[in-house]
Amino acid sequence: MYTYSVLKTHMVKHSSNRRSFMKASGTAGVALSIGVTGCLGEEDTPTPDSDDDDGNGTSANGDGGNGGTDSLSVGFSHYPVIPHGLPLTVGMEEGFFEDNGVSVDDIVSTDGGGGGVRTITTGDIEVGMSPPNATAQAFNQGAPLHIVGMATAVPDIDYQTRVDSDIEEIQDVETIAVTDPASSGEANAVLSIEAADGISLDDIEFLYTGGLGEVMSAVREGIADVGLNTNPTSTEMLRNEETRRVWHTRDYVEEYTEDILSMGNIILDQEPELARGFLQGWIDSSEWIHDNVDEAGRLWAAEADFDEELAIAGLEDTQPEAFFQIGMSEEFADNLERVLQFDGTLEEDEELEREELFRDEYLPEEYQSDWL
């Protein structure tokens, strides 16, 4: 059992037209604590080279006693609570990784922001699932890591308000609560607003709360018009009529995601077949989910220790056949550039070094891009 918790002592507002920050005085954050049972057993933060029962360490270069498979460690944001990492669960349960010569020995559940990026850049893990903007920011600063595929291909973030709110559509919104600056919640909101008619980013104030619990608190207390949500919490709150959905990101933007798959130079340069094996296992797992949504939902529920019916409903809400796709589109890269320009990582006319950041040559040929 491990516990993911977030606690902030204040909220921060950001008005997109002023590019300024100010504290919202007197507003206390609310802790979000989700207890989940995962593959880590009783360990909170396992080390990738932990000793086995015989005292022999395992690494990406050894079979770790797994009958000829090569072992690796992964760092996934909020695993296993959110659905984005479900192909990892499925691949381990159904044997898709082992079928491709890979054994996933250690899983580190990261905070979803820079945490997943740091675990790769420090050499602690070989494969990461992290937000694309955080990954691109680290790459721009010289970090030796690359985006090798989409963990999920379309957004799972929606924006919800109180049931009794006067907010009916995106054009009614003035204040949006998200977790942090340069987060996926902010990125999805920026892209949605720019794609919608009758609203401008100049009209929007972002409220940064530090965690999803604080986001919902800000919405309930009327501090924000809407706040981001994601599955399974999104589906649960809608089913319980605690909130009302104003819009889903995919209503306006299809070519963006909260999480990508990233790898560092060490595995890509020194263990390319291990990289290919993991990615093929991910693809096989994703295709299995497409064909077995209910069973995949039950596996997710068992791994994350929550209700099966909720897991299946939340998984269906992601639209799994579109959600679990690994190929990278040029439109996704365009949207990522726009997000990075908004948060100041790139200048307005600056572009990403796409051929260096995106490395899809480790994917099967049918998933490789023709724009790189």
Mean pLDDT of 300-304: 97
Given a contact cutoff of 8 angstroms between Cβ atoms, the answer to whether 262 and 148 are in contact is yes
273: left (phi over 0), alpha (psi -120 to 50) or beta: alpha
Query: 48-154+258-367, which class in CATH?
Result: alpha beta
Task: Look at residue 66 and tell me whether its pLDDT is greater than 80.
Answer: no
Which of 24-28, 72-76, 275-279 holds the top average pLDDT? Answer: 275-279
Given a contact cutoff of 8 angstroms between Cβ atoms, the answer to whether 89 and 299 are in contact is yes
Q: Which two tokens stand for residue 119?
A: 């675990």
Residue 11 vs residue 204, higher pLDDT: 204
Mean pLDDT of 98-120: 84
Q: Which residue has the tokens 């990954």?
A: 135
Phi–psi pair at 134, nearest 5 degrees: -65, -40
Given a contact cutoff of 8 angstroms between Cβ atoms, the answer to whether 369 and 328 are in contact is yes
pLDDT at res. 188: 97
pLDDT at res. 119: 75
pLDDT at res. 300: 98
Mean pLDDT of 198-209: 97
pLDDT at res. 255: 95
pLDDT at res. 9: 28
How much of the chain exceeds pLDDT 90, in percent? 73
Four-CA torsion 87, 89, 95, 99, nearest 10 degrees: 40
Q: Where in the chain is the domain with CATH 3.40.190.10?
A: 2-35+156-251, 48-154+258-367
pLDDT at res. 132: 95
Q: Mean pLDDT for the chain?
A: 83
pLDDT at res. 245: 98
pLDDT at res. 305: 96
Beta carbons within 8 Å of 294's beta carbon, 6+ residues apart: 312
CA distances from 114 to 88, 118, 215 (A): 20, 6, 19
Confidence band, pLDDT 50/70/90 cuts, at residue 258: very high
Q: What is the DSSP string of 113-176?
A: SHHHHHHHHTTS-SEEEE-HHHHHHHHHTT-SEEEEEES-SS--EEEEEETT-S--SGGG--EE
Give the residue ranges of DSSP H helices in the chain: 86-94, 96-99, 114-121, 132-140, 184-195, 212-220, 233-239, 265-270, 272-291, 293-304, 308-317, 320-323, 330-342, 354-357
DSSP state of 2: E
Task: Look at residue 167 and tell me whether its pLDDT is greater than 80.
Answer: yes
Query: 2-35+156-251, which class in CATH?
Result: alpha beta
**Which residue in 178, 219, 243 sits closest to 13, CA to CA?**
178
Four-CA torsion 36, 38, 42, 45, nearest 10 degrees: -100
The crossing angle, in degrees rounded to 10, of helices 308-317 and 293-304 is: 120
Given a contact cutoff of 8 angstroms between Cβ atoms, the answer to whether 258 and 181 are in contact is no
CA distances from 167 to 164, 172, 206, 245, 252 (A): 9, 6, 16, 10, 18
pLDDT at res. 77: 87
pLDDT at res. 116: 66
Give the residue ranges of DSSP H helices in 5-131: 86-94, 96-99, 114-121
pTM of the full predicted structure? Answer: 0.82
Q: Report angle CA 12, 248, 235 to the nearest 5 degrees.
A: 90
pLDDT at res. 68: 59
Helix, strand or coil, per DSSP, at residue 76: strand
pLDDT at res. 273: 97
Task: Look at residue 55 and tell me whether its pLDDT is greater than 70.
Answer: no
Confidence band, pLDDT 50/70/90 cuts, at residue 121: confident
Task: Look at residue 22 and tell me whether its pLDDT is greater than 50.
Answer: no
Confidence band, pLDDT 50/70/90 cuts, at residue 354: very high
